[in-house]
Amino acid sequence: MGSVVSTSKSSYESPNSIKAGIWAILPMLLGTAPFGVVFGVFALDIGFGFIGAQSLSSFVFAGSSQFVGVNLYGQGASLEIIFWTIFLVNFRHFLYGASLGPKLLGTSSRHRVLISFFLTDEAFAVVSKFKKVHFRYYWGAALAMYFNWQIWTGIGIFFAPYLKSIMAINFGFIIVPAFLAIIFQQAINKAARFCGLLSGFLALFLNSLPHQMGVIIAALISIFLTLLCESIFSPKDFNKRRYN
């Protein structure tokens, strides 16, 4: 397991295997399990019912967007507000898709439509370290995450009456160690480290913006400033990276 998960920093091409994708995302499954349980309890509590709560995870499959949507519905928000809020919360997936699209190997346009439904923060985090991604590897990671999310949502729904008492813990943090580990694996050069630090720093000041827009704005500003700094302070190095 270790050999598959701890892929070298200089990884160019992902393994061409479903199993490797599953192994790679395994630590993330652990991190998202509490979210799934909490979502099941939460959706049931708001009034989505057993089938509605499970259907949300099955047909929307968008983690934080699900929480936001259910919360808005519970507060009596209009359908337009729910739609546009979810759209904005999920907008970071545009950047994920843009980053992943050119890397995907051996996929038809129909196949890519299917693939995009299963694109999540976690699946993206696992495949993003590669410059080329085999679709089998992606499917392994993405489907493992999908079924993991369904199972834990189901557990949350069925055990909701017993689980409400443990919901005082701050579950928002549970996924952070997994993301941090990935950041530190990927930030292998000065530019990436600078970009990550700057983005994290800016996000603290933009955290109060609605619809998680702070995440997108912080990321875009930090990427822009990183490239600007590279071109000013180290143009030689910058050009070398651009054209090699």
Partner 1 sequence: MEVFLVIGLMAFATFPIRVISISLFSGRALSPTLMRVLSLVPVAILSAICSPLIFQPFGKWDNPLTLIEFWAAIVCILFSRFGLLPSIFSGLSVYIIGSIFL
Of 63-122, which residues contact partner 1 (CB under 8 A)? 65-66, 69, 73, 79, 82-84, 86-87, 90-102, 104, 107, 109, 112-113, 115-117, 119, 121
Q: Choose the binding region for partner 1 from 9-17, 141-149, 150-158, 221-229 (rule: CB under 8 A).
A: 221-229
Residue nearer to partner 1 on the CB measure, 18 or 29: 29
CB of 89 to partner 1, least distance (A): 9
CB of 128 to partner 1, least distance (A): 4
Q: Choose the binding region for partner 1 from 14-22, 56-64, 139-147, 152-160 (rule: CB under 8 A).
A: 56-64
Backbone angles phi, psi at 105, to 5 degrees: -105, 140
Instruction: Out of 19, 164, 172, 228, name the contact with partner 1 by CB under 8 A.
Output: 172
CB of 199 to partner 1, least distance (A): 4
Residue nearer to partner 1 on the CB measure, 18 or 198: 198
Rounded to whole angstroms, the Cα distance separating 107 from 92 reads 23
Least Cα distance to 226 among 241, 209, 206 occurs for: 241
Cβ atoms of 22 and 137 within 8 Å: the answer is: no
Q: What is the x/- site pattern for partner 1, positions 9-48, by CB under 8 A? A: ------------------x--xx---------------xx
* C-alpha torsion 236→237→243→244, nearest 10: 130
CB of 71 to partner 1, least distance (A): 12
Instruction: Out of 60, 151, 155, 167, name the contact with partner 1 by CB under 8 A.
Output: 60
Cβ atoms of 89 and 68 within 8 Å: the answer is: yes
Q: What is the x/- site pattern for partner 1, positions 177-216, by CB under 8 A? A: xxxxxxxxxxx---xx--xxx-xxxxxx--xx-----xxx
CB of 242 to partner 1, least distance (A): 4
Cβ atoms of 156 and 40 within 8 Å: the answer is: yes
Rounded to whole angstroms, the Cα distance separating 195 from 221 reads 9
CB of 28 to partner 1, least distance (A): 8
Residue nearer to partner 1 on the CB measure, 159 or 173: 173
Q: Choose the binding region for partner 1 from 2-10, 12-20, 146-154, 156-164 (rule: CB under 8 A).
A: 2-10
Rounded to whole angstroms, the Cα distance separating 210 from 216 reads 11
- Own/partner long-range contacts of 72-76 (Cβ < 8 Å, ≥24 apart): 73/46, 73/48, 74/46, 74/47
* Beta strands at 104-105 and 133-134: parallel, antiparallel or unpaired: parallel
Any idea what DSSP says for residue 62?
-
- Provide the b/e sequence for 103-123 (b: ≥16 CB within 10 Å): bbeebeeeeeeebeeebbbbb
Quick check: 148 binds partner 1 (CB under 8 A)? no
